Structures are given as structure tokens and as C-alpha cells.
Amino acid sequence: MTVTVAIPRPPASQRRLPAARGRAPAYVSAGTESFTISVNGALADEVDVDPSVSSCSAQAQSIACSARIDAPVGDDTFALTLYAGFHASGPVLSSGTAAQTVQLGAGNAVAIVLHGVVTSTVVALASPHPQMGAPSTTAMTVTAYDAAGAPITGTASYATPLTLVNSDASGATSLSATTLAGPNDPAPSLTYDGASFVNASITANAGPKTQTLAGVLQPVLRAAEFAVPSGNATNSRFGTGSLAVAGDGAIWFIDDTAIGRVTTGGSVTEHALGATPYGITLGPDGALWFTESGPAVARLTTGGTLSTYPSGTFGEAITAGPDGNVWYFASVTHEALVKVTPSGTQTTVPLQFPSSSSSSLFQALLVLGSDGNFWSADGQGDVARITPSGVVTLFPLPSSVNGTPIALATAADGALWLDTSLGSVARVTTAGTVTATYVTNVFQTATFQFAQGPDGAFWFPGGGGSDAARIGRIDAAGNAAIFLIPKSAPVPPSFFAPQPTGFVAGPDGNLWYTRGSSVGRVQLH
């Protein structure tokens, strides 16, 4: 019997072109340098692909090599293996077997299907950057290569099926198929359900040694920014953007000389003040409470009625307490809290630090914990628990938390989350135990309002510069991503792309933030 293999030899500049045109289902790589033919497990012949030898002849775009073998009459099994090196050496490029009944004196044709051996893959996505919050489906292409670097083509299956793996554990993305039997299989697709997530890396492999170039689905933000009519900056004297959601379904915020209100549709109005507000919170009575430069603490109803209560000290951070009152830090000494009743009566509660402590707490950081206590931080790497009676307990942060805490938030699971000046994010229980530490690599230069978004992730300033501003996001598993605020969200003309300074989960299921002289919305659905 004679076995002939035609090895494609396109011009050198085209060596990576499909190599098996017209010979489906047999995949013959352009990188083939030798092949073997076996009968019933015994080597029958070995042929090097060399047009200078008598067994091979050069064709227009191929080299045809033949092997003459003996096969016993009866049922036989033939095996053909193609190699990337001479003398049956190097990686196997394709192989196949066929069972055939050989008849004496008859024309015996053996049809061997050659299956390409995959050593590397490339996954490409047609639309790799969907808008966050907008469901979509993107087409994918998966190209498999043999050890010679030629793309495997044709109708035959791969020697080993490809397994598609999606790195996204959030469930926001799903593959239409998880295996590919061969290059002729229908192209898979990747569906995104619109939920917020970091990214999805899609790989295809035929085994643990497959080299794969992943296709990555990375969402981009859908953001809109709404200018403050007065052009005032939407941050406090310490750079802390401060927002609150009220019972009227609007988002309220502070600017230089006013309390602002923005509807979920983006309509912005301002309530002018005769002072500068520093912090704002929704009180237990449903009104907006804020500290201001009077010095005073003030109450503003959603209907626009303003009441101002002078105080003997400046205040910054303010929060609703566990007792139906609002509380704020007293002056820059950080040595007392002030309790304010709904009628405006103020009571100073001195702080009682441990006798060995010389700490001062950041007056820009004050949140109510799920344990009914207040929480803050100092400049020495401690988080502080403050009881309503003023007793302070300091919890040193472990060395895995780099930098000084400059943002705190109470999470839906009852724990506290903090961000630091050197890009560490940590989860802290109300017992003061750090249970998780993550790294965002985003350094912060000022305190800001840290918030858990409607998607359950925490959002923070992602850095800014003269040409861009960014928002950071980290989920409970520590997956962090930095998103560019798109150009469709214009930078206020009097600012050079300031970074966001405050975040709050809106009643519309979106994330709201302050930046420059505007209020922004990140569309999450």
C-alpha cells in the first residue's frame, strides 16, 4: 500500500495561514517536517519532508511525500502521526487512526482523519467593553494553534477538546458553551446580565500545558454629571464630599455655601446658607442635619425649612446616633462628641481615652456601627470605637494594613470597612478584629466618604489628574478595579478633573458621587 501526505508550503510570509485547505477532514500543518505510519501498532515507515529525496516531490504550494507499506490481509488498524521535527522528533502536530479491512487483490483505500494537537489558543471578544449596568452579548472567536504556530483548521475535531473557563465568579457573565470539539464548532458567545463586576477573563485550553491568551471582558462606567447652578465646589473644607439620601427620594449634598439637592433624574437645586457646611447626614427625624462654620449645627427639612442652632465649637463629621439624636465631633481638638436632640438641644460628651493613649481622632471620620457605637480612626494606625457615653477603645491595625485610615463605612453585613492613605482596604468587625485586607494601590491624600453601593461593593476615589478622573470599586472578595469617568460626563470648567470625594447608594439603585462643582451618577442597572 502507498500512503501519500501533502504538506502545504505557502510562502514564508504566509506560514501562519490556514494549512489544511481542500483536505478536510485531515489536518496537515504547514509546519510538518516528518511523519510516521504504523500498522497494528508496529512502525511501518518514517518519512522526512524533504523535496530532495525520492519519496517527496515539490508541488505548487505543497510537498507530497509517500510511504509504501505492507499490511496483512484482514482487519488492520492504521495510525498516521505528523511531527514538527525531522526523524519523527519534536511535538506532534496532528494524528489519526483508522480501522480497515484489507482485501487481497482489491483497491484498498484508507481514510484517516487527522486531528490537530492544540498547544496554544487565543480568545478574542468582539465587544470587550460593555457598559456597566447594560445587559449585552458579545461574540467570541477561539483560535487554536499547533506547536509549529499554525492555526488548526478544517472539519476534524481537535485531538483533545478545548475547555472554556470563565474567571468571573460573580455570576454576571455566562458562556454559551464551555467546550469546543473542533475548529468548525459554532462560535461561542459571552452574555453579561448588567450587574456590576470587575472583569471576566475567558481562556481555552486542551490541558494544563496549553498556552492561552485570554479574552477579557472589562466593563466601562456609564456616568452622568450634573452641574451645581452656583458653580460651588461640592466638598467640605477637608475635601470630604458629603451626601445623604432623604425620604423624598432625592440625594442631598453640601457645597461651599449651600445645601444642594439632586433628583434621580439629575435636576439640581440649592438652598443657600449664610455659612459653609462641613458634613451632612439624614437624622432619625427625617430631616437633613449638618455642621457649619457658624459655628453651628443646622436642620433642614426636605420641604426647605431651615433651623440653625449655634454651638460653641466647630464640627465636621456628623451622623445619626442609636438614640434618635444626631452626633458630631466637637472642634479640632477631637476630645468630645456633641449630642443634638431633634429640638436642637446640644450636650457635650467628653471622650475618655485609654490612659496610655496620646491619640487624637479624625474629626472628619465618624460613623455609626451596627453595634450601636460610633467609630472613627486616629493618625497612628488605629480604629476607634466610641460608646455613646464617650469611652474610647483603640484597636491597632495589623501590619498588613498599610497607611492611615481615612475613610470608614458600615457594611450591610454589620462589619466596618476602611480605606487608607496607602491603598489598603480592610474589613473590621465590631470587636475590632480585621478579618480581611486587600490592596487597591490607590493612594489617598484626604479623607473622603466611603460607601457601599447598591451592588454591595465599596466605591472610592480612583485618582485624578489634568486629563482624567477615576472611580475605584472593590467587592467583598477583594476584587478591585479602577474605572475612568467617561468623557460624556463633562469636567466642570473651573476644575482640572478633580477626583470624586463622596459616594452614596441612591434610592434609584445607582451610585451617586460628588466631584468638582458637580454631582455624578454611575448607572448600575
Write the pLDDT tens digit of every residue in 351-399: 998 876 666 788 788 999 999 999 999 878 899 999 999 999 999 999 9
* Termini Cα distance of the chain: 67
Mean pLDDT of the chain: 89
pLDDT tens for 68-86 read 888 999 999 999 999 999 9
Grid coordinates representing 272?
A: 443657600
User: CA nearest 32: which of 23, 40, 41?
Assistant: 23
* Sequence-separated (6 or more) residues with CB below 8 Å from residue 453: 196, 459, 473, 503, 505, 511, 522, 524
Cα–Cα distance between 225 and 490 in angstroms, integer?
A: 7
All three cell numbers of 373, joined, read 457605637
| C-alpha pair distances (Å), 76 with each of 66, 68, 111, 177, 384 | 20, 16, 13, 37, 81
Helix or strand holding residue 291 (H, E): strand 288-292
Which domains are assigned to the chain?
2-116 (no CATH), 120-217 (2.60.40), 223-522 (2.130.10.10)
What is the amino acid identity at position 213? L
Q: HSE of 202 in the Cβ direction (CA atoms, 13 Å)?
A: 29
Sheet holding 251-254, edge to edge: 243-245, 251-254, 258-262, 268-272
Half-sphere exposure of 435 toward its Cβ, with a 13 Å CA cutoff?
13
DSSP state of 220: B
DSSP element (H, E) containing 267: none
Other CB atoms within a 10 A radius of the CB of residue 347 amount to 11
Cis status, amide bond into 229, omega within 30 of 0: no
* pLDDT one digit per residue (tens) for the chain, 525 residues: 788 898 887 544 434 444 444 344 679 999 999 999 999 999 999 999 999 999 999 988 899 999 988 899 999 999 999 999 999 999 999 999 999 999 887 877 788 999 999 999 999 999 999 999 999 999 999 999 999 999 999 999 999 999 999 999 999 999 999 999 999 999 999 999 999 888 999 999 999 999 999 999 999 988 999 999 988 877 655 545 689 999 999 999 998 889 999 999 999 999 999 898 988 999 999 999 999 988 999 999 999 999 999 998 888 889 999 999 999 988 755 589 999 999 999 999 999 988 766 667 887 889 999 999 999 998 788 999 999 999 999 999 999 999 888 899 999 999 999 999 888 999 999 999 999 999 888 887 667 788 999 999 999 888 755 556 788 899 988 988 888 887 655 555 544 457 788 899 999 999 999 888 889 999 988
Contact 480, 470 (CB under 8 A): no
* Whether the model pTM is above 0.85: no
pLDDT number for residue 465: 55
Tens digit of each residue's pLDDT (9 = 90 or more) over 204-238? 999 999 999 999 999 998 899 999 998 887 765 55
Question: Cell digits for 451?
Answer: 460607601
Q: Is 433 exposed, middle or buried, given 0-12, 13-18 or 19+ CB atoms closer than 10 A?
A: exposed
Identify residue 23 by its one-letter amino acid code.
R
What's the Cα-to-Cα distance from 287 to each of 98, 295, 346, 506, rounded to whole Å?
A: 82, 20, 17, 17
